[in-house]
Amino acid sequence: MFWKKANGSAAPESTRHASNGEDAALDAVAHLLKAFGENAFDTDNVTAQETRAECEGWAQKITVGEGKTEAPEPGASKAFKRDYVGVRRYFTAQRAHEREFVARSLGNLREAVHAFARCLTTTVGEDRAADERVGTQLGRLVGAFQSNDSEAIRSEAEGIVAVVHEVMAKRSESQKRMLSELSQKISDLGDELQEVREKAALDPLTQLFNRAALDAHLDRVADLAFLLSSSPCILMIDVDHFKQCNDTYGHAAGDEVLRRVADCLVRNFLRREDFVARYGGEEFVVVIPDSTIHNAELRAERVRQSLSELDIESGKGKIQITVSIGLASLASGDSGHSWLARADAALYEAKSAGRNCVRVARENATAVASIAPPKSVGPVSRALPAGRHNS
């Protein structure tokens, strides 16, 4: 369980005496809180980051406890207090607030649609009334013709000209007003939908593009590469021994590691056309739209070195990390899926070779060694057996 102390240090008294069932329950509650925080979103008075921090805090309180209560008898062991009532109240209140926020946002969208409908209804009603006035005036003109009274015909003809002119002027003003109102409503709706679309495409923890956005981007790049005669490359990056980092320093420190890795990737791939995404867990993907494999390899090595030089602070000391990188250029006949799979195979080779290195996938999907740094590794990357899923 992630909340137990590392390096063999003793767990809190209550966890040492708790049953396996209680351990599992506490672990499940902590993971639920963490998942809730990771998928939080900004509301009108609470940011997603604040919600994540609150959830992390409650996870710590539930799993580790807030402090020791007095022993009931002399010589008896002391226990850590867990605020089950507090976490239930927090979770219930936060969910109620989010539900109210979403309902209010949907209400705003409905109101915009209703305003659109009202505008159309008003315009149609005004047009119908104007058409009735013109029809009445035409009827009077027809009656004047039947009477053969030239003065009456002249008068009614002038009358219908005046009515038609007035109706057209009002209709023009009404249409201008309607178009102005509709333009504003559409602009407001467009802004809201764009904000929702952008949030849906971003990973909440790192603010990089998420897996769904990556999949769509890979297909677009693969489809256009032939037409543009470009040679795009993928870097698949995995933080070495990330599970050990979480177990040793805690999940809050692990989240900070992922954020720092994301920031470093963005700084190393500053070109507008470069695409940086969080693939999932501790894995990241960078899409370089047009590059030789040699230049992409050099950039991969630079980012590997930059990440190995990060000093990340935590409550239990500084964290240093290393990464393994798989690199693949788009091959003839590749789809976005097969292209990514070859980069993943190269990443597997990098991890099998001892991690903290770059490997390149060739077009036949076999990965070979490319650039390998010295064997020194950071404290997070120590003494774990090689393997793709043992991060």
3-class SS of residue 8: coil
What the block records as the tokens of 164 is 């038609």
Set 54, 56, 282, 297: catalytic member: 282
As a whole number of angstroms, the distance between CA 12 and CA 79 comes to 8
- Each domain of the chain, given as residue ranges in start order, spans 105-200, 211-371
Which whole number is the average pLDDT over 97-110? 71
- Asked whether the predicted pLDDT for residue 104 surpasses 60, the reply is yes
What is the chain's percent helix, strand, coil content, to nearest 5?
A: 60, 10, 30
Question: What number of CA atoms fall less than 13 Å from residue 351's CA on the CB side?
Answer: 23
DSSP per residue, 206-235: T-SB-HHHHHHHHHHHHHHHHHHT---EEE
User: Kindly report the CA angle at 63 between 62 and 67, in degrees rounded to 5?
Assistant: 70
As a whole number of angstroms, the distance between CA 13 and CA 10 comes to 8
Greater model confidence, 318 or 376: 318
Average pLDDT score over the chain: 76
3-class SS of residue 2: coil
Greater model confidence, 271 or 194: 271
Per-residue pLDDT band for 200 (boundaries 50, 70, 90) equals confident
* CATH architecture designation of domain 211-371: 2-Layer Sandwich (3.30)
As a whole number of angstroms, the distance between CA 327 and CA 236 comes to 6
| Amino acid identity, position 20 | N
Greater model confidence, 277 or 196: 277
As a whole number of angstroms, the distance between CA 2 and CA 28 comes to 11
- Start-end of H helices in 148-201: 150-200
- The terminus-to-terminus CA distance of the chain in angstroms comes to 16
State yes or no: is 282 an active-site residue: yes
- Asked whether the predicted pLDDT for residue 148 surpasses 50, the reply is yes
Among 111-115, 131-135, 352-356, 377-381, the range with the most confident prediction by mean pLDDT is 352-356
Per-residue pLDDT band for 3 (boundaries 50, 70, 90) equals very low
How much is the pLDDT for 367? 39
Which whole number is the average pLDDT over 220-230? 83
Q: What is the per-residue pLDDT across 298-331, written as a single tens digit (0 to 9) for each?
A: 999 999 999 999 989 888 889 999 999 999 999 9
How much is the pLDDT for 53? 87
Q: What is the per-residue pLDDT across 18-60, written as a single tens digit (0 to 9) for each?
A: 456 777 888 888 888 888 888 888 887 788 888 888 888 888 8
Which whole number is the average pLDDT over 284-293? 93
Provide the percentage of residues in the chain whose pLDDT is more than 90: 31
User: What pTM did the predictor assign?
Assistant: 0.50
